[in-house]
Amino acid sequence: MRYVSTRGRAPELGFADVLLAGLAIDGGLYVPESWPSLPAGVPGASYAERAAQVIAPFVGDDLDGATLLRLCREAYATFRHPAVVPLVQLGDRHFVQELFHGPTLAFKDVALQLVGRLFDHVLGVRGQRVTIVGATSGDTGSAAIDAVKACTNVDIVILFPLGRTSEVQRRQMTTVDSPNVRVVAVEGTFDDCQDLVKAMFTDVPFRERMSLSAVNSINWARVMAQVVYYVVATDLLRGPVTFSVPTGNFGNVLSGWIARQMGAPVEGFVIGSNSNDILARFVNDGDMSTAPVVPSLSPSMDIQVSSNFERLLFEMNGRDGGMTAEQLQRFRAVGRLDIEADQRAAYIDGVFRAASLDDTATLDVIASTYAETGMLLDPHSAVAVGAAALARGSTVVSLATAHPAKFPDAVEKATGVRPPLPPHLADLFDRPERFVVLSNDLAAIEHYVEHIR
């Protein structure tokens, strides 16, 4: 399998190179040169077995089948539910797929637990070692740390804004006791942390000396790993299924679209947004224009520009990278993306619907779902369940992307119940923390990163 860039000006690469590269050198995102068809499922297969099957065509010859299956088994053995991503029935033809049984209680674990192991394996084969640097406002950092804490060929340094994450979020990062993990509290904001990471990547001698790498949400392997749970849901429900997806960077719902391209019986998608509703405005009114980000109860969806949308845009442009690059340049310049009517008709209408729920509506969904079913939803999952009303009459699967205990304040406000942390994290507040505090200063951060080994 070969991969091409959505901006058409980067060399074609195989899977292992795409995995390590992240972003293409023309600034584009890698996609497979064609969409493989879905391998038939084997009744009774485990999640890990089905994952290895679905992923195999994307990996091509870069990994043998036995290795891929072993890595999938190891990745999904870290989940605390035998089904890995269980489907729970919420009502008539309405199911919730719980994607939060991984080590850090958010759906990011589904992709990152596998991607960390893929990284370590490919680097080991090549005799290479990388340093992953990343900035986090809370959730992604802990998922990335947990994914690579056992890796032998990866060091990781995560920057977070001092005093601006929740205590659970901070402790999930700082209590990991592993020699290749470093956590830095920066005296600054999340934007400062992101700028520091960008500056480290732009410092080419430093980047090369340290073999810097990233595992952010544009990494193809993350999108690929997420295709699996859509397939598993349609295997079980036998389709046609509509998925309601709480959406931020568009990575999750894009994975669903890929499952549909591969032939999974997916009718369509409902995109759930909070008050940051650029995607809902686009799907409903054709208006893709940026607005300032407003904080909400579902912070992982507080996003202005959904970076993975570029991969769908590339398809909408008939896989013309030049046209895609031009369109994105215009978008950056004027803050508005214009799509032709025939592009909309072919790719959006009849496939994507969208709804946005503000914080009040989100709390209402948490309260009514608890009253009617006894299920506690976190605010992200509640956006999906609320948005699913648009698809009443179809079989709907709403994706639950975080454990309610990750957002206990919102859940308690809506229901009066404070969800406890699951047993494997119950002693989180008793574990010793390890992190350093550094000033918002590139030289200081680079000096630190350089001396971790």
Ligand X SMILES: *Cc1c(COP(=O)(O)O)cnc(C)c1O
Give the closest residue to 248 by CA, choosing from 274, 286, 266, 268.
Answer: 274
Examine residue 380 and tell whether it contacts ligand X (CB under 6 A).
Answer: yes
Q: Which of residues 387-416 bind ligand X (CB under 6 A)?
A: 401-402
Closer residue to ligand X, CB minimum distance, 219 or 247: 247
Integer Cα distance of 405 and 376 in angstroms: 9
Q: Which residues of 31-69 are buried (b: 16+ CB within 10 A; e: fewer)?
A: bbeebbebbebeeeeebbbbbbbbbbbbbeebbeeebbb
Binding-site size, ligand X (CB under 6 A): 17
Integer Cα distance of 303 and 193 in angstroms: 16
Examine residue 136 and tell whether it contacts ligand X (CB under 6 A).
Answer: no
Closer residue to ligand X, CB minimum distance, 3 or 269: 269
Catalytic residue among 108, 149, 198, 413: 108
Integer Cα distance of 118 and 127 in angstroms: 14
Specify the 3-state DSSP secondary structure of 298. Answer: coil
Closer residue to ligand X, CB minimum distance, 225 or 438: 225
Examine residue 217 and tell whether it contacts ligand X (CB under 6 A).
Answer: yes
Closer residue to ligand X, CB minimum distance, 131 or 247: 247
Cβ distance 38 to 259 under 8 Å?
yes
Q: Which of residues 137-176 bind ligand X (CB under 6 A)?
A: 139
Residue carrying structure tokens 């990011």: 108
108 part of the active site? yes
Residue carrying structure tokens 């079913």: 373
Examine residue 301 and tell whether it contacts ligand X (CB under 6 A).
Answer: yes
Q: Which residues of 167-202 are buried (b: 16+ CB within 10 A; e: fewer)?
A: ebbbbbbbbbeeebbbbbbbebebebbbebbeebee
- Report the nearest approach of ligand X to the CB of residue 444 (Å): 29
Give the closest residue to 219 by CA, choosing from 249, 239, 245, 263.
Answer: 249
Q: How far apart are the first and last CA of the chain?
A: 36
Closer residue to ligand X, CB minimum distance, 69 or 115: 115
Q: Which of residues 337-366 bind ligand X (CB under 6 A)?
A: none
Which range of residues in 61-69, 101-109, 171-179, 203-211 is near ligand X by CB under 6 A? 101-109
Closer residue to ligand X, CB minimum distance, 108 or 182: 108
* Rg over CA atoms, the chain: 21
- Report the nearest approach of ligand X to the CB of residue 402 (Å): 4
Closer residue to ligand X, CB minimum distance, 16 or 258: 258
One symbol per residue from 235 to 264: x for binding ligand X (CB under 6 A), - otherwise; what is it?
Answer: -----------xxxxxxx------------
Examine residue 273 and tell whether it contacts ligand X (CB under 6 A).
Answer: no
| Helix or strand (DSSP H, E) at 70 | helix 65-76
Structure tokens at 39: 């391998």
- Report the nearest approach of ligand X to the CB of residue 217 (Å): 6
- Report the nearest approach of ligand X to the CB of residue 249 (Å): 3
- Report the nearest approach of ligand X to the CB of residue 442 (Å): 27
Cβ distance 370 to 376 under 8 Å?
yes
How many whole angstroms from its chain centre is CA 77?
19
Cβ distance 146 to 170 under 8 Å?
no
Examine residue 300 and tell whether it contacts ligand X (CB under 6 A).
Answer: yes
Structure tokens at 199: 């500056």
- Report the nearest approach of ligand X to the CB of residue 324 (Å): 20
Q: Using CB under 6 A, which of 7, 50, 94, 108 touches ligand X?
A: 108
Examine residue 218 and tell whether it contacts ligand X (CB under 6 A).
Answer: no
Which range of residues in 60-68, 104-112, 173-181, 354-362 is near ligand X by CB under 6 A? 104-112
How many helices and strands (H and E) does the chain possess?
18, 15
Active-site residue set: 108
The residue ranges that bind ligand X (CB under 6 A) are 106-108, 139, 217, 246-252, 300-301, 380, 401-402
